[in-house]
Amino acid sequence: MATVRRVTPTIRFCEPCNRRETRLALRAWQDSLARVNDDFPVSPPRAWAEIDLTALRANLAVARQACGVAVMAVVKAGAYGHGLEEIAKTLAAEEIAFFGVANVREARQIRHAGVATRIYLLGPTWSAEREEIVAREWTPCLSSFEEAQEFNRLAVARGVRLKVHLAVDTGMGRGGFVAEGLPATLAALERLEGLEIEGIGSHLPSADEDEEFTRRQMARFETIIDELGGAARFRWRHLSNSAGILGYANGVCNLVRPGLMLYGIAPLPGFQPQLRAVMTLKSRVTLVRTLPAGHGVSYGRAFVTTRPTRVATVGIGYGDGYPRHVSGHGAEVWIDGRRYPILGRVTMDQMMVDVTDGPDVPEGAEVELFGQHLPVAEVAANAQTIVWEILTGITPRVQRCYR
Ligand SMILES: *Cc1c(COP(=O)(O)O)cnc(C)c1O
């Protein structure tokens, strides 16, 4: 009978990749593979995302400086693809007031990470989720009287008072009470003894697109608060997302809800120099060949070489969340200090890059898709979408490495 030999797997690095930073970044990957592969050396991942936690803290400091009030760090969608638990742990050490999440599952993940910071649910809740929300004292925002009544019933049954925020729809059209009749609604809510109306919030639909509308919306929010009894009536008053924080004064608000800017991207491009990209998406060259003129590259042969072309194949594709739609829009990657154009269509696991005009690019060379040297905003523009979608679309196959 064969005996099982247990060896610690090692990563074999190609020479240009054998940098200390890369080795550190890949340790987590090695650990994760140790459980499934005892006998053979493991190769490095084809695609990974380096997450710079120092940059994250620096971006939080910018948000604080810009507004000078308390922060609800928005960490929905796995902290915009950066990994919810690590990001929450890092930000919790910076004394933020709340984490903003999309659903109960994300709230649980934060608690499982051992983080005790208050949690705010950014959208409406299902009835089936409310018992847990009350039991764990997470903070919902209310959009309807029915929601409020059920939270009240559950809180009374437990003998607690649940802190809730009143969501007001001042133009987003996604949730919250509309402004008409709000004073009467608030009066009714205040009669529910299981609830404490601790805060009031609203959301900006176009702070990065329409300054005039946003200014009017902000003024309207202040008027609403006045009509409800004034700022002192609410412990927390919040309206601004990243664009609101960077581009506008706070007014009556004492809490802001930054998402994107924490991850180093400014929705108003003029503020980009103040921020540092947190995620750098990387891959490696897996193959380099010279193709003759007149040779098609990738599916559909959307690109055909017009000269003898050094083509590097890179181990990342839309299966990792890199958008296929950049194909044909002049998208580039970054290798060792230079940009190189992507050729033809991005495939599921691989893409091709023209390295003819640079110095010799060796197999195994590290490739940056976006991040430190190449703005993700460029990738989003080439893909005709927004940065939020690119970041949250990076798939689980991409190993997140924290430093
Ligand atoms: C997502 C979200 C934010 C954060 O928006 P950014 O533009 O990423 O800063 C803030 N508030 C609410 C209600 C959200 O849903």
Q: Is the pLDDT of residue 169 over 50?
A: yes
Q: Give yes or no for a contact between 314 and 331, defined as CB atoms under 8 angstroms apart.
A: no
Supply the angle between the helices 182-190 and 211-227 in degrees, to the nearest 10: 50
E strands of 186-308, at which residues? 195-201, 236-238, 255-256, 279-291, 296-297, 303-304
Domain ranges of the chain: 53-265, 279-402
Q: Fold for domain 53-265?
A: TIM Barrel (3.20.20)
Q: Is the pLDDT of residue 128 over 80?
A: yes
How far does the centroid of ligand 1 lie from the alpha carbon of residue 168, in Å? 15
Residue 35 is predicted with a pLDDT of 63
Residues whose CB is less than 8 angstroms from the CB of residue 376 and which lie 6 or more positions away in sequence, other chains included: 265, 277, 279, 281, 370, 387, 390, 391
How far is the C-alpha of 284 from the C-alpha of 14, rounded, in Å?
10
Of the candidates 69, 88, 89, the one whose C-alpha atom is nearest the C-alpha of residue 79 is 88
Residue 401: enclosing H or E segment and its boundaries?
strand 399-402
At residue 14 the predicted structure's pLDDT band, cuts being 50, 70 and 90, is very low
Q: Is residue 249 classed exposed, middle or buried when 0-12, 13-18 and 19+ CB atoms within 10 A define those classes?
A: exposed
Q: Give yes or no for a contact between 389 and 39, defined as CB atoms under 8 angstroms apart.
A: no
User: Ligand 1 pocket check: which of 122, 165, 390 to mutate, most ligand atoms within 8 Å of Cβ?
Assistant: 122
Q: Is the pLDDT of residue 132 over 80?
A: yes
Q: Is the pLDDT of residue 4 over 80?
A: no
Task: Give the β-pairing of 309-314 and 177-178.
Answer: unpaired
Q: Give yes or no for a contact between 218 and 210, defined as CB atoms under 8 angstroms apart.
A: no
- The full DSSP string for 361-395 is --TT-EEEEESSSS-HHHHHHHTTS-HHHHHHT--
Residue 250 is predicted with a pLDDT of 83
Rounded (to 5) percent helix, strand, coil in the chain? 35, 25, 40
Mean pLDDT of 288-317: 97
| 208 CA: nearest ligand 1 atom | 7
Residue 329 is predicted with a pLDDT of 84
Q: Fold for domain 279-402?
A: Lyase, Ornithine Decarboxylase; Chain A, domain 1 (2.40.37)
Q: Helix H segments across 138-290?
A: 145-158, 182-190, 211-227, 242-247
At residue 42 the predicted structure's pLDDT band, cuts being 50, 70 and 90, is low
More confident residue, 219 or 21: 219
How far does the centroid of ligand 1 lie from the alpha carbon of residue 354, in Å? 38
How far does the centroid of ligand 1 lie from the alpha carbon of residue 101, in Å? 10
User: Ligand 1 pocket check: which of 169, 217, 241 to mutate, most ligand atoms within 8 Å of Cβ?
Assistant: 241
16-44 burial, b if ≥16 CB within 10 A, otherwise e? bbeeeebeebbeebbeebeeeeeeeebeb
Q: Is the dihedral of CA 312, 317, 320, 326 positive or negative?
A: positive
Mean pLDDT of 199-206: 98
How far is the C-alpha of 124 from the C-alpha of 177, rounded, in Å?
11
User: Ligand 1 pocket check: which of 67, 74, 253, 388 to mutate, most ligand atoms within 8 Å of Cβ?
Assistant: 74
Of the candidates 282, 250, 280, the one whose C-alpha atom is nearest the C-alpha of residue 264 is 280
Tell me how far CA of residue 107 lies from CA of 74, 120, 143, 367, in angstroms.
12, 8, 19, 35
Residue 341: enclosing H or E segment and its boundaries?
strand 338-343
At residue 15 the predicted structure's pLDDT band, cuts being 50, 70 and 90, is very low
SS3 label, residue 30: helix
* Residue with CA at minimum distance from ligand 1 atom 14: 122
Of the candidates 360, 186, 395, 390, the one whose C-alpha atom is nearest the C-alpha of residue 285 is 360
How far is the C-alpha of 245 from the C-alpha of 84, rounded, in Å?
22
Q: Give yes or no for a contact between 25 and 45, defined as CB atoms under 8 angstroms apart.
A: no
Q: How does the average pLDDT of the chain come out, rounded?
A: 92
Q: Is the pLDDT of residue 20 over 70?
A: no
Q: What are phi and psi of 22, to 5 degrees?
A: -70, -40
How far is the C-alpha of 115 from the C-alpha of 104, rounded, in Å?
15
CA-based end-to-end distance of the chain: 44
More confident residue, 35 or 320: 320
Of the candidates 79, 116, 78, the one whose C-alpha atom is nearest the C-alpha of residue 98 is 116
Mean pLDDT of 123-147: 97
Q: Give yes or no for a contact between 400 and 82, defined as CB atoms under 8 angstroms apart.
A: yes
Residue 325 is predicted with a pLDDT of 87
* Residue with CA at minimum distance from ligand 1 atom 4: 259
Q: Is the pLDDT of residue 10 over 60?
A: no
For 288, the token pair is 């380099």
Task: Give the β-pairing of 309-314 and 279-291.
Answer: antiparallel
How many residues make up the chain in this entry? 403
Q: Is the pLDDT of residue 6 over 50?
A: no
Q: Is the pLDDT of residue 26 over 50?
A: yes
Least confident range of 6-15, 43-52, 158-167, 312-321: 6-15
How far does the centroid of ligand 1 lie from the alpha carbon of residue 398, in Å? 24
| 201 CA: nearest ligand 1 atom | 13
pLDDT digits (tens, 9 = 90+) for 351-401: 999 999 999 999 999 999 999 999 999 999 999 999 999 999 999 999 999
pLDDT digits (tens, 9 = 90+) for 111-127: 999 999 999 999 999 99
